[in-house]
Amino acid sequence: MKKLCLILVSVFLLCLVSACSNSESGSGSSKVTLRYGIWDKNQKPAMQKIVDEFQKKHPEINVKIEVTPYDQYWTKLETAATGKSLPDVFWMNGPNFIKYSSNDMLMPINNLTKKDKVNLGNYPKALVNLYTFKGKTYGIPKDFDTIGLFYNKKLFDEAHIPYPDETWDWDKLKAAAKKLTNKEKGVWGIAARMENQAGFYNTIYQNGGYVISDDKKKSGYDQPETIGGLKFWIDMIKDGSSPTQAQMTETTPSALFESGKVAMIYDGSWMQIEYEQNEYTKDKVDVAPLPKGKKKANIIHGLANVVAANTQHKKEAQEFLAFLGSKKASLIQAKSGTVIPAYNGTQKLWVKSNPNVNLQVFIDSAKYAVPLPSSKNTSKWWDDETKILNKAWGLEIPVDEAAKTLAKKMNKDLAEEH
């Protein structure tokens, strides 16, 4: 009896305390506050400008941008989703989209398209498809990225090699990488890093291979063409034109490129702003299209803005989402030069944002690009890729063996998804 009484009293006290703080934050203003979850601090200024622009039209809606670094973003988002406290509007990417949409965490946007607030024809089709699950579209494409060959003009000049251009193929790249390598100066021709989106996925598709079958049920890693796409990189580690896997673990390939230790690196369009702002690379860097293998291929991926299914401010969140997908918002992004905006026709402004680098390469690559492979639990087989292919990159096991082990493991993971 006494104990019960005591517990009741303390619970009451606790409620009192929390009620106080609740009413304070709730009744402070009649404004609705939306939370907007993003992961890239480089893009925060542009996002803030878009928010400011939005608030001019909708002074009654407050938008708070929450930046979580990419490494923790998905962990945090999943915890928030489990605890029903997702941000009202947030960034989504391809590898995670199916997981969130198939579990009813996202709000379909069909009522926006019905009311003509959003016209999906304004965005590249590949991106709209990326965010469509079972016939319903859940996100409005925000931006896209493709991969290019970044190179250091100074190191090319010193080695008397012409700059790479659209005529380059795999053999030309390998020959150039070998010539650019200078052991005495500690310079390597290329960084053959163990990286999927900006690395071996491109060469796998260039070699006619695939990573995952179209029905998302089978791994492509046991196909000889796929293995050929992996060998491309490992050969360059073997012949010394790239740093070893261990060296690239200790010093990141980007850091090597930014200090003139590596002459060429495959990297995403999102990195141009980083290389442009770096003190060393800013006047030495340029971009060329990826050298072709059996055919041209490039990995395209783009983010989308989505609304949480259980948001408490459905109307306001969708209003904001529509604005994020507008031409105006895309132009603000384009000017900042951070990422390629998804709204058709606004890309030109992005290309102009940095005249020192041939940014048109990234727009042109989109024509023959393949979407980033994904499935329901992408992170599971991405983890297998890291674990198993790392050993092949470290020359601990032959590529064929690694690829076949990976194919088996990945097939098992894919079977568990259904």
Please say whether the beta carbons of 118 and 322 come within 8 A: yes
Closest distance to other proteins from the beta carbon of 312 (Å): 19
Question: Measuring CA to CA, how many Å separate 384 from each of 249, 409, 411?
Answer: 18, 7, 11
Segment 23 to 62, residues that bind other proteins, using CB under 8 A:
none
Q: How many residues does the chain have?
A: 418
Residue 9 binds other proteins, judged by CB under 8 A: yes
CB of 149 to other proteins, least distance (A): 22
Closest by CA position to 417, among listed 196, 219, 126, 128: 219
Nearer to other proteins, 6 or 415 (CB): 6
Among 78, 158, 235, 400, binds other proteins (CB under 8 A): 78
CA distance 47 to 335: 12
Q: Based on the shown chain and the rule CB under 8 A, indicate whether residue 245 belongs to the binding site for other proteins.
A: yes
147-152 vs 285-288, strand pairing mode: antiparallel
Does the protein bind other proteins through residue 99 (CB under 8 A)? Answer: yes
Q: According to the binding rule CB under 8 A, does residue 16 interact with other proteins? A: no
Question: Least distance to other proteins from the beta carbon of 343, Å?
Answer: 31
The CB-of-47 to other proteins minimum distance in angstroms stands at 26
* Contact flag: residue 4 with other proteins (CB under 8 A): no
Q: Does 14 help bind other proteins (rule: CB under 8 A)?
A: yes
Q: How far is the CB of 141 from other proteins (least distance, A)?
A: 24
Position 390 contacts other proteins (CB under 8 A): yes
Alpha carbons 86 and 92: distance in angstroms, whole number: 12
- Looking at beta carbons only, is 174 or 193 nearer to other proteins? 193
Nearest residue to 146 via CA among 358, 262, 302: 302
Give the separation between CA 293 and CA 56, rounded to whole angstroms.
50
15 binds other proteins (CB under 8 A): no
Tell whether residue 380 is a contact of other proteins (CB under 8 A): yes
Counting runs of H as helices and runs of E as strands, what totals does the chain give?
Answer: 19, 15
Site string for other proteins, 172-201 (x = CB under 8 A): --------------x-------x-------
Q: Does 6 bind other proteins (CB under 8 A)?
A: yes
Q: What is the CA radius of gyration of the chain?
A: 24
Smallest separation (angstroms) from other proteins to the CB of 245: 6
CA distances from 55 to 58, 83, 170 (A): 5, 29, 50
Instruction: Supply angle C-alpha 72, 78, 84, rounded to 5.
Output: 130
CB atoms within 10 A of CB 287: 22
- Using CB under 8 A, list all residues that contact other proteins: 1-2, 6, 9-10, 14, 75, 78, 81-82, 99, 103, 105, 186, 194, 245-247, 249-251, 377, 379-380, 383, 386, 390-391, 394, 396
